[in-house]
Amino acid sequence: MNTLFFSLILLFQTLLFADTNGIYDIRGSSKLLDTNISQFLNKWRTDTITPVQNGTYKNIIVNGDTTKKIIALSFDDAPDENNTHKILDILKKHDVKASFFMIGSTMNDENTTAVKRCSDEGHLVLNHSFNHARFTNLNETEIVAQLELTSTRIQTLTGNYPLLFRPPYGSINSQVVDTINASGSTIILWSLDSLDWTLKDPYAVANNVISNVRNGDIILMHRNPTSVASLEMVIETLHSIGYTFTTVDKMLGLTAYKQ
């Protein structure tokens, strides 16, 4: 790992964004991205972030305090009995706490160990839908069912009923936002996409995160082999430049679980 190279990139980014505050745009880029994927991402990011920044969508979090060198790692699509444990091993090694947005339907007999371990080791176990449905294709009743089934299953396994939710694909519209808000949950998106879901090169993923990171970023990663292979590079380099990792509830001053 070229720590000096990463650190110089990160120092430039820190200086560039040091004086900004408010709601970030959503970043994440790589020369390895397919043109069609880049165009799709740019459109989705603009369509999603604009109503958040304008205040049209309420109770949606994209990032934390942009004046502090605090960031939050978040992992989607857990649990499994392979990569989730590898991620947890790396986090434990570096004493980093993270936020896991989990899918209810995969919390079966084979994967409950990973769910419980996440909770037992001080990470957040949060709601990422029951079967990774695209919420913009669902009606209100279906959205509520997805939320309740998953949160209830998490509560059964960990004792905690989550109040923080991330929609699959980041897919939202006014109905989705209003329904989730009415349920008492808060939508947590992200401000930095690691692109581990499309890039297969761990070095490219690490470079993308490190070169685009800003104070208060919520970083999107997944429980896949690319995330596992890039995670230690990301943590070590960001630590070396003075960033502190935390969970999204502590970063945002929110209550993660029903009291």
Rounded to whole angstroms, the Cα distance separating 173 from 207 reads 32
Domain that holds residue 245: 3-252
Provide the angle, in degrees to the nearest 10, between the axes of the packed helices 225-240 and 202-212: 40
| CATH code, domain carrying 96 | 3.20.20.370
Residue 243 has pLDDT above 60, yes or no: yes
What residues form DSSP beta bridges with 192?
Answer: 27, 219
CB atoms within 10 A of CB 244: 13
What is the reported pLDDT for 18? 45
Residue 160 belongs to a domain:
yes
Where in the sequence numbering do the catalytic residues fall?
Answer: 76, 222
What is the reported pLDDT for 147? 98
| Residue 16 pLDDT grade (very low, low, confident, very high; cuts 50, 70, 90) | very low
Residue 258 belongs to a domain:
no
For residues 258 and 5, the model is more confident at 258
Rounded to whole angstroms, the Cα distance separating 212 from 167 reads 23
What is the reported pLDDT for 126? 98
Residue 12 belongs to a domain:
yes
Residue 239 belongs to a domain:
yes
Query: What percentage of the chain carries pLDDT values higher than 90?
Result: 91
Give SS3 for 189: coil
Residue 107 belongs to a domain:
yes
Of 144, 108, 114, nearest in space to 129 by CA: 144
Residue 96 has pLDDT above 70, yes or no: yes
DSSP string, 10-56: HHHHHHHHTT--S----B---TTS-HHHHHHHHHHHHHHHHHHHTTS
Residue 257 belongs to a domain:
no
| Residue 17 pLDDT grade (very low, low, confident, very high; cuts 50, 70, 90) | very low
186-218 tens-digit pLDDT: 999 999 999 999 999 999 999 999 999 999 999
- Report the domain count for the chain: 1
Burial call 156-165: b when 16+ CB within 10 Å, e when fewer: ebbebbbbbb
Ramachandran sector of residue 34 (left: φ over 0; alpha: ψ -120 to 50; beta: rest) = beta
